[in-house]
Structure 1
Amino acid sequence: MAVRLLSGHEVSDLCLGKPALRSLSITDTLADALSALKRIDDTFVSVWNCNHSLVRSHFPSPPTQEGCKAKEDDCRCVGRLCMLDIICYLCKPENLSAPAAALRSPISLLITDHSALVSHLEPNASLLDAIDAMHEGAQNLVIPIKSSISSRRKSVESLDSIFHNNNRSYCWVTQEDVIRYLLNAIAAFSPTPASPINTLNVIDDQNLFAVNYDDPASSALNLLSLSLIHQSSVAIVDPEGKFVGEISPFMLNSCDEAVALALATLSAGDLMAYIDCGGPPEDLVQIVKERLEEQNLGAALELLGDEGGLSSWSSFCSSSSEDDASSGKNWKLGGYSARVVRRSEAIVCYPWSSLVAVMIQALSHRVSYVWVVEDDGTLTGIVTFEGMLKVFREHLKSMC
């Protein structure tokens, strides 16, 4: 039944109601990517090997350059970028000393590691094909969608960053989309979803990224980059290995570039408090500034702009988060997004939790992972969407 269900449905079924991707060109800069991420309501911005760009579409197309040799009828998405990519890049010592120059770097510097995370798929491909593509490492499937220009006037900028390949537009299909679909059809996979996760080989203790509470937050930089690849997070543990919290890509993607200064100067525990939903405490803001001066990195303070990037968000949240919640808006101001107010605690489960319970936890909190802890709080592993999909794929293979 499960095989028929997934074979009989096309990946385009998951595209209904999805907005068209906004794009950047591989020749754009990190400053362009930063501008785009602040303008779109999505965690990732797609990067293409052609000249269509959200931030440069009102300029004449630049001459063909290295890495941008695609013909207009062979435009392909070659990667994706998020705020955390830029934050990690800015945290490098050589970039903190000259952040403006760092932001002039081409985004191609960051795309090479992410090219395997996106994959094109035709809309008539089956959901089985989508699961297979994700099993091979894709996290974002790029699917052509049917779209029409509405009667309401659209700007040239808007259209140029959406349409590719003879006026085709595209959308993301993510692992979350597939997991949500599987949850809606969970009875077809019985009894596997009701089984404890410690019997399904779904708890990952190999790609378990963690730092100690008192470690420098900068020691988590490489782990944060890996967590983007694995769609997980970086745990913070005490000296006894007990789970304290996390440095979450979700939270950092909701910040602006100024949080790189905190990541470069604070401890892991202090950073967790800094990016928590109450806003950064003034004493931590002052510590960041003092440590930058001590390290002769005063030039990095230009990331603050009007110096609102580190501390101005808390008053904004208290006055407008309710309005944003009711309107569905996701405004970014200062360093943070209003959506962060609704989730600051890490999501945990236990080895004996059922797979379906863990799926519901992850989907209800809009995260792609759930930490696994013992009764005493000791961190033992993590369950990710990738691991869940592997379980369902093995279930399907056993039925063939």
Structure 2
Amino acid sequence: MAVRLLSHELSDLCLGKPALRSLSITSTVAEALEVLKTSDDSSVSIWSCDHKAEFDPASGFCDDDYEGDCRCVGKICMVDVICYLCKDEHLVSPLLALKEPVSVLLHKTPGIVLHVEPSCSLLEAIDLILGGAQNLVVPIKTKLSYKRRQHQKPSPSVTIHKGREFCWLTQEDIIRFLLSSIGLFSPFPALSIDALGIISSEIHTIEYHSPASGAIGAISRALVDQTSVAVVDSEGTLIGEISPFTLACCDEMVAAAIKTLSSGDLMAYIDCGGPPEDLVQVVSARLKERNLNGMLEHLSMSMSFGGFSSSSSSSDEESTAAPVPRSLRHSRSMSYSARMVRRAEAIVCHPKSSLVAVMIQAISHRVNYVWVIEDDCSLVGIVTFSDMLKVFREHLEAIA
């Protein structure tokens, strides 16, 4: 039965998925930033399309009969922009940095985004993810796509590529699908993560009182690994985390906080509800001390536009009445549109926790990982969606 489940085609998982928001590879970082700020999604797809004369800019369509190439070459999120602006030369002149092409944000790691056909099996998709893919780009058919073919103008950020729209599938989508039929894999999902050997000790950490700037490289690597950076004390006790999933819900001014605050203060800065006013003042003062006037001016502009207003609400009820500032948005995943407000405290489990319990825990908090700690809160390691998928893959090989 489990083997038959994994023979499902990816089209089954694409039902109801929204079309990707797209940006051209020729766009600027500023244009990408604007799309990210106005989107409920945490990331945007970047496309390289050889439209030439066959592309109609008035309708946004590629000619169905044109043989040119339309490819998603990557994805970016707010974390990419934040890490980019953390570079010293960009802090001096952020407006100039934002004029650079969006290609400077793309990861050099190949295969993070892969095109697949709707007929691709779930088992094949798992193999691609275990090989390093984060997002699988799948063509979809929607009523909206058909209407656009009737020459209705598309959204500026959703493009019809050769007459087709696309969605993407992630590790979370596949884990959620497996969890919906977890009984077919009994009894191994009830085993502890320790017994299954999926607790990884390869983790990114930083000490609580250390400058947050020391975590920039770790944040970038955690974004690629789809994990997080653990904040620990001098004895290795887990205190919290600096999570790319949380940073993706903030705005670009977090770059200034990373360069001026300690790791502990940064956790408070990115906590839900927006940064505390006293920390905003600390960031401003330290930018001024370091003569980073370009970023200081950018910060002042953000504050004047209400980006740090503590009176704004992130509730779904009030969001219909007025736009919610990016720093207060916590749409936790690119897979689902539901909003999840979560603090900077880390999501944790015990080595004896069962696999199915950890799966539920990660999905409910909209993260791709769970930290593993002992009873004294000492950090043991981390369990990721990728680790979980490896176990399912090995189980299928064993029963084949």
Verify same fold: TM over 0.5. Answer: yes
- How has the CA–CA distance of structure 1 residues 91 and 82 changed in structure 2, closer, same or farther, with 3 Å as cutoff? same
Amino acid aligned to 1:323: E
Matches within 5 A, 1:135-150: 135-149=130-144
Give the drift of 1:303: 2.3
Whole-Å Cα distance in 1 between the matches of residues 33 and 86 of structure 2?
15
Is 1:163 aligned to 2:160, yes or no? yes
CA contact (8 A) 1:310 1:335 kept: no
Q: Which residue number in structure 2 is paired with residue 82 of structure 1?
A: 77
Is 1:187 aligned to 2:180, yes or no? no
3-state SS, counterpart of residue 313 of structure 1: coil
Gaps (5+ residues) in structure 2? 61-65, 332-338
CA contact (8 A) 1:309 1:335 kept: no
Whole-Å Cα distance in 2 between the matches of residues 175 and 360 of structure 1?
14
Amino acid aligned to 2:49: C
Whole-Å Cα distance in 1 between the matches of residues 322 and 168 of structure 2?
19
3-state SS, counterpart of residue 299 of structure 1: helix
3-state SS, counterpart of residue 111 of structure 2: helix
Pairing partner for 1:200 from 190, 196, 201: 196
Q: CA-to-partner distance for each residue in 1:185-210, whole Å, 9 max, x for gaps?
A: 1111111111100111211112x011
Q: Which residue number in structure 2 is paired with residue 67 of structure 1?
A: none
Q: Which residue number in structure 2 is paired with residue 249 of structure 1?
A: 244
3-state SS, counterpart of residue 33 of structure 1: helix
Q: Which residue number in structure 1 is paired with residue 268 of structure 2?
A: 273
Give the drift of 1:386: 0.9
Pairing partner for 2:327 from 314, 335, 349: 335
Whole-Å Cα distance in 2 between the matches of residues 114 and 163 of structure 1?
27
Give the drift of 1:310: 8.3
Whole-Å Cα distance in 1 between the matches of residues 95 and 81 of structure 2?
12
CA contact (8 A) 1:96 1:299 kept: yes
CA contact (8 A) 1:285 1:310 kept: no
CA contact (8 A) 1:324 1:338 kept: no
Q: Which residue number in structure 2 is paired with residue 131 of structure 1?
A: 126
Matches within 5 A, 1:311-326: 312-317=308-313, 321=315, 323-324=317-318
3-state SS, counterpart of residue 282 of structure 2: helix
Q: CA-to-partner distance for each residue in 1:239-279, whole Å, 9 max, x for gaps?
A: 11000001111211111111111111000000001111243
Whole-Å Cα distance in 2 between the matches of residues 42 and 180 of structure 1?
18
Q: CA-to-partner distance for each residue in 1:278-329, whole Å, 9 max, x for gaps?
A: 4322221111011101111021123222524786332102xx625247x6x9
CA contact (8 A) 2:230 2:240 kept: yes
Whole-Å Cα distance in 1 between the matches of residues 398 and 170 of structure 2?
25
Is 1:95 aligned to 2:90, yes or no? yes
Q: CA-to-partner distance for each residue in 1:30-73, whole Å, 9 max, x for gaps?
A: 11110111222211100111278xxxx97899xxxxxxxxx774
Matches within 5 A, 1:222-371: 222-304=217-299, 305-308=301-304, 312-317=308-313, 321=315, 323-324=317-318, 331-333=323-325, 335-337=327-329, 342-344=341-343, 345-371=345-371
Give the drift of 1:379: 0.7
Amino acid aligned to 1:12: S
Whole-Å Cα distance in 2 between the matches of residues 388 and 172 of structure 1?
20
Whole-Å Cα distance in 2 between the matches of residues 117 and 155 of structure 1?
33
CA contact (8 A) 2:50 2:69 kept: no
Whole-Å Cα distance in 2 between the matches of residues 72 and 30 of structure 1?
29
CA contact (8 A) 2:36 2:42 kept: yes
CA contact (8 A) 1:237 1:244 kept: yes
CA contact (8 A) 1:79 1:115 kept: no
Give the drift of 1:108: 1.3
Q: Which residue number in structure 1 is paired with residue 335 of structure 2?
A: none
CA contact (8 A) 1:163 1:169 kept: yes
Matches within 5 A, 1:13-162: 13-50=12-49, 73-149=68-144, 156-158=153-155, 161-162=158-159
Amino acid aligned to 2:329: S
CA contact (8 A) 1:41 1:330 kept: no
- How has the CA–CA distance of structure 1 residues 298 and 77 changed in structure 2, closer, same or farther, with 3 Å as cutoff? same
Q: CA-to-partner distance for each residue in 1:78-97, whole Å, 9 max, x for gaps?
A: 10000000000001111100
Is 1:175 aligned to 2:171, yes or no? yes
Give the drift of 1:162: 2.5
TM value normalised by structure 2? 0.89
- How has the CA–CA distance of structure 1 residues 385 and 298 changed in structure 2, closer, same or farther, with 3 Å as cutoff? same
Whole-Å Cα distance in 2 between the matches of residues 151 and 188 of structure 1?
41
Aligned residues: 380
Amino acid aligned to 2:317: D
Give the aligned CA root-mean-square deviation in angstroms: 2.5
Whole-Å Cα distance in 2 between the matches of residues 297 and 36 of structure 1?
26
Gaps (5+ residues) in structure 1? 62-70
Whole-Å Cα distance in 2 between the matches of residues 41 and 260 of structure 1?
21
- How has the CA–CA distance of structure 1 residues 256 and 306 changed in structure 2, closer, same or farther, with 3 Å as cutoff? closer
CA contact (8 A) 1:204 1:381 kept: yes
- How has the CA–CA distance of structure 1 residues 10 and 341 changed in structure 2, closer, same or farther, with 3 Å as cutoff? closer
